[in-house]
Structure 1
């Protein structure tokens, strides 16, 4: 567990797949968030919110701010002190139920009987964009049900319900006069539950409260309350066992404590973001508190980091991609992958140009790691349609470079973007690799290879800027760029980022010197100029020039890679993580480790055990794509290339940072099996921990020979063997 006693106004989450609670570490529930202004905290059971928060009075006095916060893998604790009492509040959310369990533990030096009064404020309201699906908020109303021993509240105009009860006899009332220590927004009402609690020295007393909700019926909410009352202990034990499995899965052991701790807790972060919504599906959300729903770009990064961690995570990856595919086809019908779908099914944006090929890249890796042939059969048609029939037909001209917005969502960047080109190349290669198993003929494979070669050539000729030693952000004509550059200059001045103005003016001067219709590359210094390096598509000499420059102060801040080397004012875990992958792709593993450490060192700055979306400590306090920049570099360093459906595994020789001696990656999930990879003193050991035998191929570094220890006949630049339950040890000469 992780504890802190400072900055307790920072947020936390207690999460399950059907509900989550967000508050502050001092025990309060202030209004927070932007998408639904002031309403992104509290208790949510998507697609509705249940509570703004809850507070406790002891003998008529509100508990003060907590003095200590403790984060467990799936629960939180707050420690309060009041009038000789120590009160510890713990909350957790069970798996599979839209409910919450809260306990208060009272310790006193002298015997006393307390009156404990829980006050909760309901706010039954829809998720963001609820109005698009007919979800319109109305005032809450309710009453205390004596026979149920619970407060029962509904939204006046909708079948949305929340029920709050305890584990012992209470008296209760419901109404706007039941107020907490401060007002909260919305059209909710108040709940007040009172009970007596005897406390004796050395015998702490505990009181539990249960919150259950439904967006369908009173009966469903009451049934959830009954399940919590009857089975809270067994539900807790089941969740604890599941988290012990998460902890074991994909466990990294290196003498690098900051990274080891980050590897462990980011696995828990992934689980905190699982959203299951009846009628919509189950998938990995993007971030909390602002983005609990499902995204194209975020998933395409985050799921790759998830894959090595367990078979449960494999299922989640498949479910997430199939949810996105299903909603995308219902919305667009042409293979285009959406940008964002809310938990009520409302689609905010039909999808940026780069999201469709990026999705195909994710599909490729999820299939290769899971071996789920049925998943491939179901999803390959939308991948084929999205890249060939939409991206390269509707969005591209004859050069195979699609136009449209990419990852960087800046007004005016709807041109031929580098990130779209790079992911298009990777998507075409993925389609070619997957085609035979999807039933496509050799002509389809040749077509994809030819298109991929054309895109790769464009990336390394038309986008490469030899005078800069960097790739251009985009291709455009001066006629297209001049009005955009002028607008961006005005915006830089308006926002006080005057240091960006000289470069923007230089680009305008260049645009005026060139023929107005001459398409050329333009360097805006957005972080996506590292995507050719992430994909390994850059020649080594280009890669080393670009990586070297991007490691300097022009692009690199204390906590990671700037979103923009032009503005140098914001850093995110995703662009820092992509840079770590890029360094690993070109064997610069010491540099990759440094980028990974920049992420890891933000782990406890805000919410213990959770790097923030924006480094070091703002934006969403839990973010799914952070895992990509921690776990995927390991895949690259070990050269892991699975084909789980064929039970084939290709490995490179480990290329690891010097600090990682010894190295072990245990319980790595591939297909239905689990592997370990260990490296120490020049010896590489590969073990199959569970599952039927695999065919393994290991390639030596250039100019070297691999020898299988104990098998004198098995040596060469490439060795192939059947891996069963007997570990195989390898050395190079």
Structure 2
């Protein structure tokens, strides 16, 4: 291929520079790292665009969906740049001394060059397809200095799909060679992919002195490293230059905007102009929005690590919000096809699963994350996500109600069509998420718009997908591993849980026929579950059941090295997968069974230093285990333990603290997907890593604190508030303020000291209130007072333990004191 160089210069003198402007001081909480920055990733995220790179200041190839291409700058459904690099007076700024994550922005501090100190601030304003980069130059010398600044950008205008292994064309084949241009009128770089309306534009305020475009522009990237950027890429290079005179002690900030559009050049330029018109104002607005989010669900916890994880998880969820437009819905059949679209969605929003490889929408991730979104007050994100999944599922799967698995931002559905063998659990978990949103918000309109889809989906799961009519639907569940039986444990219990939600919604709508059907199915599952699934010799439920046709022939077993698979129909199969915790997560297990199973799951076979293994020691079809620890199994285990009153330091708190302990593992303030564990090194090649920020990680921190420790369970449609805490034995107490419940905000606190247990609830008038406390095993109340007056109460046995409950009403604050003998 011929390399063509285009060089355009504007003027010979520095363009006028504005008066001194100080470095951005965004405010809000921060977390900082200064070690091994070149090995750690970061994101500066908005809902329409984001930048992902290394905390040292560079942009090495990252990610595996499109190998090496999941970092850089994205404005979904397209990527804009592989990265950008700055040099000051011929010194490349690629070795930051310090990286700071803030509330909606990030900052890099670089070593001084010629006594000029450099701070780089990055953020993406929500609602706009632009990333803004502020370079603050501070002359620390006692005499004037001149800063000769260069920015090098490597374009990569490509679609979010196809990926590296896709057929009939992979990412490199599908995306053509980028072309670029420097416009001497607007002083901007423009990159595009010929034949497509995809554009990336870079500009600045003040404007650069010169600019150029060439395939040969690579900045600090050494020749030996360049092939890694071109494995699936077809980008080109561009540069911009500024000359900045600085008086002694002077500080000034340049703002660079990187904007894009998959529709038109004009739209990209509009985004650029909007961002550069007032970058400081947009940064202030972004931080204020994040601070408003932090002001919701303000918890006070005696554990500093859990406190920090709870708060930063709220920010993670905000950073993972995603909006995309013009989705062409097509079934790409796990990368084997690229058919014509079956429908379009003009605009969708929701929660991306994780950075850098899962920035789009998932059925099951959204269902787990809904718990955290609700208790952190991010209701609209939860609703929008569920609508997105419903609409894409309807477009692909019609009136079956089957929920898709994975929706890319261009509309490609990788898995989850009717013909796919799963993931059956996602349809059930979707239904449960809808019911949960309704119970917390009281939004009957939302219930009504989702109701038919939920009903269709659960009808489909319990009929078409239960081919042998034994109550246990077939199909893949959360453990995406070969060698399991057709009927999975998590599918069974999530289906039961979903039917309970459907029954409640049906009753509220007066749909007595559906309510009766769901109730009958629930009762049948409860009656049959223990006998079908419990394995006394294992003290666990089977993680799958074998149907006729699941039997693995001897020759296949030998070829795969499988020693623990289905060999006969009706077999209970125990492969030690993490889904063993799901009957306790859903409270499907009777109390005695639950404690036996949880004891077993806490053992060294299933749990290591960082939490619950994906597959315990000796587990799996080849009995080799899979000793990696995801945050999701830890979350499920924490919820499971708390459901049965097991809040100890080696129980729920252990799994919660394992998640919280990773808050600064890679990006400061980001909860990752997988924890350091025997079979996972979080600092392998950037192209082989898991996510450094994962949405569902918040589930195992925020939900147990609000739902279990504080015991807050709203039933907004019924106008009822249930607050029955259970404080961990090692804690003196905890509290929450500004918790959104319906159209109100609620505050609650719980404390324990020397056999006395205090619960306080502050809420507006108009609620019926169950206020109480869950007593330790063996304790009995000797007195119960409400607002200082003896109160009538009842003691109710539950899976958590004996709950002392008093029925009353809200307004303004009610305090219950339970004293035990």
TM over 0.5: yes
2:248 pairs with 1:201: yes
**2:817 aligns to what?**
731
Q: Is the 8 A contact 1:700 1:706 kept in 2?
A: no
Select 1:639's aligned residue among 706, 711, 719: 711
Select 2:747's aligned residue among 676, 682, 702: 676
Aligned-residue offset at 1:338: 0.6
How many residue pairs get aligned? The number is 707
Query: For the residues of structure 2 that align with 1:242 and 1:524, how far apart are their CA atoms?
Result: 46
Q: Is the 8 A contact 2:296 2:738 kept in 1?
A: yes
Q: Is the 8 A contact 1:114 1:198 kept in 2?
A: yes
**1:472 aligns to what?**
542
Q: Is the 8 A contact 2:465 2:474 kept in 1?
A: no
Secondary structure at the counterpart of residue 322 of structure 2: strand
**1:338 aligns to what?**
404
Aligned-residue offset at 1:375: 1.0
Query: For the residues of structure 1 that align with 2:584 and 2:634, how far apart are their CA atoms?
Result: 13
Query: For the residues of structure 2 that align with 1:286 and 1:221, how far apart are their CA atoms?
Result: 26
Aligned-residue offset at 1:119: 1.0
Q: Is the 8 A contact 1:404 1:414 kept in 2?
A: no
**2:594 aligns to what?**
543
TM-score of the aligned structures, taking structure 2 as reference length: 0.83
Change (3 A) 1:287 1:490: farther
Per-residue CA shift, 1:38-81, capped at 9, x if unaligned?
11000001000011111112223322422221111221122222
Query: For the residues of structure 2 that align with 1:476 and 1:39, how far apart are their CA atoms?
Result: 41
Per-residue CA shift, 1:189-208, capped at 9, x if unaligned?
22211111122332223222
2:66 pairs with 1:30: no
Secondary structure at the counterpart of residue 627 of structure 2: coil
Change (3 A) 1:638 1:64: closer
- 1:211-610 to 2 correspondences below 5 Å: 211-278=258-325, 279-310=346-377, 313-333=378-398, 334-350=400-416, 351-413=422-484, 415-441=486-512, 443-476=513-546, 480-483=550-553, 491=560, 505=563, 507=564, 516-517=568-569, 519-565=570-616, 566=619, 567-590=625-648, 591-610=651-670
TM-score of the aligned structures, taking structure 1 as reference length: 0.92
Change (3 A) 1:56 1:99: same
Secondary structure at the counterpart of residue 464 of structure 2: helix
Aligned-residue offset at 1:699: 4.7
**2:185 aligns to what?**
147
Query: For the residues of structure 2 that align with 1:524 and 1:79, how far apart are their CA atoms?
Result: 49
Select 2:107's aligned residue among 45, 67, 77: 77
Aligned-residue offset at 1:139: 2.0
Secondary structure at the counterpart of residue 194 of structure 1: strand
- 1:623-702 to 2 correspondences below 5 Å: 623-634=694-705, 635-652=707-724, 654-681=725-752, 682-688=757-763, 693-699=766-772, 701=774
Aligned-residue offset at 1:399: 1.4
Per-residue CA shift, 1:221-242, capped at 9, x if unaligned?
1111111121222211211111
Aligned-residue offset at 1:606: 1.5
**2:340 aligns to what?**
none
2:192 pairs with 1:106: no
Greater Cα offset, 667-676 or 419-428: 667-676
Secondary structure at the counterpart of residue 675 of structure 2: coil
Greater Cα offset, 230-239 or 597-606: 230-239
Per-residue CA shift, 1:23-42, capped at 9, x if unaligned?
00110101111111111000
Aligned-residue offset at 1:644: 1.9
Q: Is the 8 A contact 1:254 1:661 kept in 2?
A: no
Q: Is the 8 A contact 2:710 2:750 kept in 1?
A: no
Query: For the residues of structure 2 that align with 1:15 and 1:587, how far apart are their CA atoms?
Result: 38
Secondary structure at the counterpart of residue 596 of structure 2: helix
Change (3 A) 1:259 1:401: same
Greater Cα offset, 178-187 or 45-54: 178-187
Change (3 A) 1:205 1:377: same
Per-residue CA shift, 1:381-424, capped at 9, x if unaligned?
11111111344334342211111111101124360111110011
Query: For the residues of structure 2 that align with 1:263 and 1:701, how far apart are their CA atoms?
Result: 23
Greater Cα offset, 628-637 or 89-98: 628-637
**1:501 aligns to what?**
none
Per-residue CA shift, 1:95-117, capped at 9, x if unaligned?
11000111112233332112111
Per-residue CA shift, 1:500-536, capped at 9, x if unaligned?
xxxx64x46xx77xxx44x131111001011111111
Aligned-residue offset at 1:318: 0.6
Select 1:5's aligned residue among 29, 34, 39: 34
Q: Is the 8 A contact 1:109 1:200 kept in 2?
A: no
Greater Cα offset, 185-194 or 156-165: 185-194
Aligned-residue offset at 1:268: 0.8
The CA RMSD over aligned residues, in Å, is: 2.2
Per-residue CA shift, 1:412-456, capped at 9, x if unaligned?
436011111001111111111110223412x32222111112222
Secondary structure at the counterpart of residue 667 of structure 1: strand
Query: For the residues of structure 2 that align with 1:429 and 1:448, how far apart are their CA atoms?
Result: 7
**1:720 aligns to what?**
807
Q: Is the 8 A contact 1:248 1:667 kept in 2?
A: yes
Greater Cα offset, 18-27 or 85-94: 85-94
Secondary structure at the counterpart of residue 629 of structure 2: coil
Query: For the residues of structure 1 that align with 2:722 and 2:741, how far apart are their CA atoms?
Result: 12
Greater Cα offset, 357-366 or 228-237: 228-237
Change (3 A) 1:53 1:608: same
Aligned-residue offset at 1:695: 2.1
Structure 2 residues without counterparts, runs of 5 or longer: 1-29, 326-345, 417-421, 620-624, 677-681, 683-688, 796-804
Change (3 A) 1:225 1:283: same
Change (3 A) 1:692 1:145: farther
Query: For the residues of structure 2 that align with 1:598 and 1:345, how far apart are their CA atoms?
Result: 36
Query: For the residues of structure 1 that align with 2:809 and 2:461, how far apart are their CA atoms?
Result: 43
> Which has the larger share of helix?
1
Secondary structure at the counterpart of residue 714 of structure 2: strand
Q: Is the 8 A contact 2:51 2:73 kept in 1?
A: yes
Change (3 A) 1:572 1:489: farther
Q: Is the 8 A contact 1:406 1:414 kept in 2?
A: no
Query: For the residues of structure 1 that align with 2:546 and 2:109, how far apart are their CA atoms?
Result: 58
Aligned-residue offset at 1:457: 2.9
Query: For the residues of structure 1 that align with 2:280 and 2:667, how far apart are their CA atoms?
Result: 27
Secondary structure at the counterpart of residue 53 of structure 1: strand
Secondary structure at the counterpart of residue 609 of structure 1: coil
